[in-house]
Chain A
Amino acid sequence: MTVQDTSAPTATVRLDRVKPARRLGRGQLWLAALAGLMLLALVRVTTNANDITSGGTLGATIALGMPIALAGLGGLWSERSGVVNIGLEGMMILGTFFGADFAYFTHSPWMGVVGGIVGGFIGGIVHAVATVTFGVDQIVSGVAITILATGLARYLAGVFFTGQPGGGPTQSPAIPQFTRLRVPALDSFFGRIENHHWFLISDIAGLLRGLVTTLTPFTIVMALLFPLTWFLLWRTAFGLQLRSCGENPTAAETLGVGVYSRKYVAVIVSGILAGLGGAFLADFAGLYREGQTGGRGFIGLAAMIFGNWRPGGLVAGAGLFGYTDAVQSRGGAKSVHALLLLVAIIVLLVGLYALWRRRLATGSLAVVVAILVFIWYLLTKDVPIELVTYTPQILTLLVLALATQRLRMPAADGIPWRKGQGA
């Protein structure tokens, strides 16, 4: 990830240091999800902050988490092939502009999706040419692309949206949006259960109501990209080749894998996914606005790291970030305050588990943090909202600080590689 790593010969040495993180089975994952929901329900009942599992909040989680997840998925494709993509933010910006532009001028939300693909493709191919063909430092190229994309979107918005009704250099006119697939019967049914505020049952109803009220055809198609990515990258020969380029490109080359072409595909797909994330943002908001991405490309990258360079993990990370964003943006100072209790419980559990596993340092640190958060919960009535906005970033830093040893990025990630360099 660091520029510094480029001086390391190859990263094989690192492998023996890192114990592969134990992966949970499918049953255990469901169990963990259920336990999480129960914990949320418990916190809701104790604190009376009913909004933390309401249908509205969970619906907003999907809408806010999806662009982050798409950017993260883009990061996954690129980094699995060994190319760090800090330019996701820029590619997302292009996606918001082109998405809105296409949707507005063709009067079709589906053309907005095409626009997102086009915008992301442009960003992706520039990054691919710079990093794969010319071997430029990947982080430098990513930063340059973000600068370029910001300027390009501003210029093009000035050219295309000035003079349109409600449009101008900093925002587009209202664009046609996807209609939500509402099932009114289910909506009111779940809504009624939710209003009883029963333990767990109302929470599950809230979750389901959030699901049935926010889905659009766009959301469903995008959601399918995650299992599809998993299948392509982990269950096909092409995916194995692509991932081998991220682990040891020289070895891949000796086996006859076209490393450049795999990296090109990966980086371009990465751009397209980030662009789709941008188009999703524009569609959800109903217009293009300057600065609309608000750093979500970077947060997507964080979600991917949080998820240990795996699709399931990144969805969990994006879901978590989307959730904090949803709770916060629905203006619930009370809800956010209630979440402090949740944080305290989770950190305490993590700490006790670490102590039980005799990892004394981590364990006692976590327990102390849990107690401090609990005291904070007791002593205050609300949390500074200015800081709550940046929960994803704070969380990412904490995860990185506490769990770097358990994360494993692709071994050759970020290292420029040239054809024939192993010969």
Chain B
Amino acid sequence: MRDRLNRLALNVIAALLAGLFAAAVTSLILWARGDSPSFVISQMWHYGTQPSSEVTILNSATVYYLSALAVAIGFRMNLFNIGVDGQYRLAAMLAGAFGGAVALPTGLHQIAIIVVAMLVGASWAGLVAVLKVTRGVSEVISSIMLNFIATGLIAYLMRPTILGHRSGANDITTEPIPRSGQVPGVNLISSAGTKVYGLIFLAIGMGVLFHIVVNHTRFGFDLRATGRSSSAAQASGVSVKKMIVITLLLSGAMAGLVGMPALLGDSYSYSSITFQTGLGFTGIAIALLGRNNPIGIAFAAVLWAFLDQSAQILDINGIPKEIVQITQGVVVLSVVIAYELVRRAALARQQRRVGRALATVPAEMEGAPA
């Protein structure tokens, strides 16, 4: 227990140091152009803590959280699902088209759309899994390729003659989802005037589920064991291939959820132009930042969303808001370095302790029966 607390403290310190380092780099860049870092920070803090900003932050964080969870499932088993990006876009598009095409009673309609999204995400990830276990293709390369192919496939399917639906002058969307399939927002911050995605509760539920499955089930144990050492897991009777397939399917199903809060709570249709892209990569960054831990990821998602939203004020002051993307990039890179250093330090300490223990044991062992 003490050991675990120690490690937790070390990790938190590492994350804070990485954050400080990123802040320092950002300040340096701002200062080089003649902008005052303290002015920028106070502006961002002031704007980011306004109620309407808080709603936007919670909404973005919901989406980031789901994406990061999808990535984290793979990471726990040392599988790198770079394909979350393609999986969620394809899932959102097809689920959107499905939701607009069917007529179902409220309740069932939302569930059906979400299930379709999960199935699509899982099948797109399933391709990666099949290629990996049958042909030995690295999931990193195949999922990068499938991200591109998903873009092409979506563009093709969005043709007005297939699933597309012309709305407005030059935007093509899927058929809008009727009211029976929408998820209303919730009034979490009453003074804001805007609402938080109703599916924020789905995201929280998924986080809890993630924790239970990974840490308190036989499957989760196998998952973590395979991640630590696939050969050891194989030797103890775990079918590594089966684990790879299941993990990638679960990761893909989770990725399918990423587009849902916006689809069911805001846009009600998928559009190639306005639907948010690149969330899969954000998810990778946030999963790394949060150490693949559901609580860590939640903090990281809120931080990321805060930076995104509060930077919107900067352009008005003549400072390119893209400065926060530098902050985000530096945070991710320095945090993985910091975690690696902590891991090495912990390993070295453990080795020293084992060494000390071994040095004292033989004397006692001699008397013991073999």
Contact = CB atoms under 8 A, between A and B. Distances in A.
Q: Do A and B bind each other?
A: yes
Interface in B226-255: 228-231
Interface string B191-202: 000000000000
B141 A130 contact: no
Contacts of A397: 131, 137, 142, 145-146, 149
Nearest to A400: B137
A176 B344 CA distance: 50
B151 A390 contact: yes
A140 B288 contact: yes
Contacts of A305: 141
B155 A3 contact: no
Interface in B255-313: 281, 284-285, 288
B228 A7 contact: yes
Nearest to B281: A147
A159 interface: yes
A152 B149 contact: no
A387 B155 CA distance: 8
Contacts of B336: 130, 136-137, 140-141, 144
Interface in B103-149: 131, 135-142, 144-146, 148-149
B328 interface: yes
Interface stretch (A202-210, A242-250, A295-303, A352-360): A295-303
Contact of A147 (B323, B328, B344): B328
B135 A404 contact: yes
A3 B292 CA distance: 15
Contacts of A298: 144-145, 148
B141 A136 contact: no
A310 B311 CA distance: 45
B155 A301 contact: no
Interface residues of B, number: 50
Contacts of B230: 4, 7
Interface centre among A6, A152, A387, A390 (most CB of B within 10 A): A390
Contacts of B78: 2-4, 6-7
Contacts of A130: 333, 336-337
B325 interface: yes
Interface residues of A, number: 52
Contacts of A134: 337, 340-341
Contacts of B97: none
B322 A158 contact: yes
Given A7-B230, A390-B148, A139 B332 contact: no
B131 A152 contact: no
B79 interface: yes
A387 B142 contact: no
B330 interface: yes
B255 to A, nearest CB: 16
A292 to B, nearest CB: 16
Interface centre among A154, A155, A394 (most CB of B within 10 A): A155
Contacts of B326: 148, 151-152, 155
A302 B332 CA distance: 25
Given A150-B325, A387-B156, A393-B149, A400 B333 contact: no
Given A158-B322, A386-B152, A390-B151, A2 B139 contact: yes
B231 A136 contact: no
A159 B156 contact: no
A401 B333 CA distance: 32
Interface string A301-318: 110010000000000000
Contacts of A136: 336-337, 340
B229 to A, nearest CB: 5
Interface string A393-421: 11011001110110000000000000000
A135 interface: yes
A1 interface: yes
B333 A7 contact: no
A302 B324 CA distance: 31
Contact of B333 (A86, A126, A135): A126
Contacts of A331: none
Interface string A1-35: 11110111000000000000000000000000000
Given A387-B152, A387-B156, A397-B146, A144 B329 contact: yes
Contact of A148 (B141, B144, B149, B330): B330
A143 interface: yes
B153 interface: yes
Given A4-B230, A387-B156, A393-B149, A169 B322 contact: yes
Nearest to A387: B152
B33 interface: yes
Contacts of B229: 7
A151 B333 contact: no
A143 B82 contact: yes
A384 interface: yes
Contacts of B231: 7-8
Contacts of B330: 148
B285 to A, nearest CB: 6
B65 interface: no
Interface of A: 1-4, 6-8, 86, 126, 130, 134-137, 139-141, 143-152, 154-155, 158-159, 162, 169, 295, 298, 301-302, 305, 384, 386-387, 389-390, 393-394, 396-397, 400-402, 404-405
